Amino acid sequence: MKKHLLLLTALCLSALSVFAQKKTPLKRPKMVVGIIVDQMRYDYITRFWDEFSEDGFKRMVKEGTTFRDMHYNYAPTCTGPGHSTVWSGAYPANSGIANNSFYDRKSGKMVYCVTDTTQTTVGANDEYGQCSPFRMKVTNLGDELKMVSNQRSKVIAVSFKDRAAVLPGGHFADGAFWFDYKTGDFISSSYYMKGKDLPAWVQAYNQQKRAAQLVKQPWKLLFAEDHYSASIQDNNRYEGLFTGEKTPTFPHDIKAISRREKRKGKPEYGILAKTPWGNQLTVEMAEAAIKGEQLGTHAFPDMLSVSFSCTDYVGHQFAPNSREVEDIYLRLDRQLAQLFKTIDSTVGMNNVVVFLTADHAGAFNANYIHDLGFQPAVYVKGEDLVAQTKSVLNSKYGQANWVMGYYGEQIYLNRQLIAQKGLNLAEVQKTAADELMKNEYVKEVATEQDLLSGNFTEGYKALLKRGCHPENSGDLFMVYQSGVLMQWGDQQTGTSHSMTYNYDTHVPYLMMGYDVPKGKEVNQKVAITQIAPTIANKLKMTAPSAAFEPVLPLVCGAN
């Protein structure tokens, strides 16, 4: 009997050993690298193609899959909501990140989307680190990855802008790092560091004092002038001026500009945001993160968010048709190649999913396209629209403080006053909307009550509805006529964004690396809210909490 039991035990152990040997590990990438280029139009890839290197944008197109018709499917199209949505898959209507800033009806103040005064700066003695994602009411990819891996995955976010690091980093990130204009260092928040200092690799990078080196470097054209056929003449009336400059032309003496701004009380390193050097700092920090955190070497996949912010600042000042915009993209192309080379040498591109998109696009300067012959394109003053709203409400309901705030083409009414007077909110909103529709520069005005109750699936109102958060959005949502841009004060240079038109919604989407078809194009229209579910699918995990869209076609393979 004992012999039989021993034989049976041996057979069972042998079977278990064979089973263990045949156990197949789950196939998925070792790391996800998500790149967001601030204010990048889709057509920058095609416009600047001839001057790109083979190792940046062209590499992503040739070695990966290109989506030629990726759009934001909500408005407003701006940085805070864009970064939140790319990484969470959630409309602003669900995420709470309704704009870069919005009127907080509880406190009675305009608030910034990531400011959190309960937090302290880590890495400097100033206020730039008082940030957290507490206003984002949904999870994102990093959050889901941290939960499903039982905290064994690393999630890191790097950007020049605070909101472009905090919102992609999410609630559970191991670190989110952004640039401090006063010190020239990368900093973080006590929300992420939780009583600790900056990681050793961040401190080591800061000790190199790269910002102090780059601020002394003039911004010259990367190539000879005849290479810049995709932009108009350098000296034109559509571009803004750096402090102290008489013309918006190359070369730009960054060191002298920094000194002038410092004398005016501005941060010493703030000028770097409007140069390619800010992007260089960002890519170097991303490389330091890969090496310092040993990303892509752990048992579970890691995640790195890299957001290039300086393209947005340059676009706002100089507009899409400028040599400055063309030059910063030619340099960004080389900076991407630098990042890809680091990925090749550390984790290996075949083990990594890299995606690249934008948080929004941007319009051409209104005066520029007006001069070309598109007569509807003009600048409209935001002050005039606010005054028009106040006037009609004063006339109908009596003199009072009817408007509490204005931001991003949204007007916030004084709801406390409306309630005190016993007025119907929907009626007051409609009164103001009807008056604003008389303005020749306004195409559409939607009220918050209309958007929340209406079943809009197409057109302007569908985009506005997806962007309308019941607590953080305004009472009135304006859509200007095509080509019309908002003007505050006397400035009519550079450009802006946030509209429902294609020039603000159409952005690139490129994927490359692990299990991504090579050299493929997808021409059907797809939505920015499909990115997060697609990446979650690649990682074989649950999509973020409010990511309701299907995965993108073609790029989710058999693995």
Taking Cα atoms as reference points, which of 47, 79, 77, 69 lies closest to residue 505? 77
Which segments of 387-436 are extended strands (E)?
403-407, 410-413
Q: Are 359 and 39 in contact (CB under 8 A)?
A: yes
Q: Would you tell me how many other CB atoms lie within 10 Å of the CB of residue 455? A: 7
SS (H, E, C) 47-62: HCHHHCCCCCHHHHHH
In the chain, CATH 3.30.1360.150 sits at 379-487
With contact defined as beta carbons under 8 Å apart, do 386 and 334 qualify?
no
Contact of 280 with 215, CB cutoff 8 Å: no
Average pLDDT, the chain: 94
Q: Which residues are catalytic?
A: 79
CATH architecture of 31-113+134-172+211-365+501-538: 3-Layer(aba) Sandwich (3.40)
Over residues 341-395, the pLDDT tens digits come to 999 999 999 999 999 999 999 999 999 999 999 999 999 998 999 999 999 999 9
What pLDDT was estimated at residue 23? 66
Q: Taking the CB of residue 235, how many other CB atoms lie within 10 A of it? A: 12
> pLDDT by residue (tens digit) across 296-337?
999 999 999 999 999 999 999 999 999 999 999 999 999 999
Instruction: Say if residue 83's pLDDT is above 60.
Output: yes
Decide if 301 contacts 153 (C-beta within 8 A).
yes
First to last CA, the chain: 48
Q: Hey, CA dihedral for 149, 151, 152, 155, is it positive or negative?
A: positive
Asked if residue 326 lies in contact with residue 230, where contact means CB atoms within 8 angstroms, the answer is: yes
Query: Tokens for 254?
Result: 């960054």
Q: Where in the chain is the domain with CATH 3.40.720.10?
A: 31-113+134-172+211-365+501-538
Are 494 and 319 a contacting pair, CB within 8 Å?
yes
pLDDT tens profile 133-187: 999 999 999 999 999 999 999 999 999 999 999 999 999 999 999 999 999 999 9
Structure tokens at 48: 């600047």
Q: Check if the beta carbon of residue 452 is closer than 8 Å to that of residue 468.
A: yes
Burial of 134 (0-12, 13-18, 19+ CB in 10 A): middle
For domain 379-487, the CATH architecture is 2-Layer Sandwich (3.30)
Specify the residue for token string 């950007």.
159
What phi, psi does 133 have (nearest 5°)? -90, 25
Model confidence pLDDT, tens digit, residues 274-303: 999 999 999 999 999 999 999 999 999 999
Of the chain, the percentage scoring pLDDT greater than 70 comes to 95
